[in-house]
Amino acid sequence: KNQVEQSPQSLIILEGKNCTLQCNYTVSPFSNLRWYKQDTGRGPVSLTIMTFSENTKSNGRYTATLDADTKQSSLHITASQLSDSASYICVVKNTGFQKLVFGTGTRLLVSP
Amino acid sequence: EAGVVQSPRYKIIEKKQPVAFWCNPISGHNTLYWYLQNLGQGPELLIRYENEEAVDDSQLPKDRFSAERLKGVDSTLKIQPAELGDSAVYLCASSSGQTSTDTQYFGPGTRLTVL
């Protein structure tokens, strides 16, 4: 079954600290993996998209990694800011059915 | 450039009543998606359109849900009759549909509460 699992479910960190969010997937055949940021009351916003051949991709203070062999991805946030408080959703696209499989997200709270 | 527009932003109805949501995608985007998002969960696809054709509606509960995108631009999602379990956020998204890595742009969603 195509699934995307994220950990931790929730996380609280102090402003200025770094954190890493994890994503494991069983989606096959794999097309690409995306990380989205969703602020409360808003729709998700794309942070990164990585294909099979990409190991890492950055977007400002956000750096995503992908290990297609172990089917794992991580999102690293550097020097966190209060505005980073949001849910971060890992999404994997399935080549065969052109479907996006969404994880349940990690809820991050950056505390002053 | 305007993003994906959805209306209304909030809707409260009593069970068994009908409700409709409207979405206007980003100009030029051929692919339009409707998602349902429950609290603390990721979005779940209800239906995907390529222009005016519904190419994936396998997860749409067709006994009570219907959708249309008559001219291949804006779209309406309807629920009739609504049930308590339909309370959720309904998200619309669009993409160019030209590559496998094209970005989906989401609207702000409509939060539905069924009493």
CA distance A62 to A50: 13
Residue entry with tokens 């990409």: A54
Residue entry with tokens 């009593």: B14
**Average pLDDT for chain A:** 94
How does pLDDT run across B50-92, given as a tens digit for each residue? 999 999 998 999 999 999 998 889 999 999 999 999 999 999 9
Closest partner CB to B100 (pick from A41, A44, A93): A93
Of B35, B17, B16, nearest to B75 (Cα)? B35
Residue in A closest to B107 by C-alpha: A43
CA distance B102 to B26: 13
More confident residue, B99 or B62: B62
Cα Rg, chain A, nearest whole Å: 13
3-class DSSP assignment, residue B86: helix
Q: How far is B68 from chain A (nearest CA, A)?
A: 20
How does pLDDT run across A57-97, given as a tens digit for each residue? 999 999 999 999 999 999 999 999 999 999 999 999 988 66
Q: Which two tokens stand for residue B71?
A: 């001219």
Sequence-ordered list of residues with C-beta below 8 angstroms from that of B1, at least 6 positions apart, any chain: B26, B27
Q: Strand A19-25's sheet: what is its strand order? A: A4-7, A19-25, A72-77, A62-67, A56-59
CA distance B114 to A32: 36
Chain A residue numbers with beta carbons less than 8 Å from the beta carbon of B103 are: 46, 49
How does pLDDT run across B4-61, given as a tens digit for each residue? 999 999 999 999 999 999 999 999 999 999 999 999 899 999 999 999 999 999 899 9
A5 torsion bin: left (phi>0), alpha (psi -120 to 50), beta (else)? beta
Check CB contact of B112 with chain A, cutoff 8 Å: no
CA distance A77 to A63: 7
A105, B56: Cβ pair inside 8 Å?
no
Closest partner CB to B43 (pick from A32, A102, A107): A102
Q: What pLDDT, on a 0 to 100 scale, did the predictor assign at position A24?
A: 97
Sign, CA dihedral B50-B83-A4-A28, equals negative
How does pLDDT run across A32-62, given as a tens digit for each residue? 999 999 999 999 999 999 998 999 999 999 9
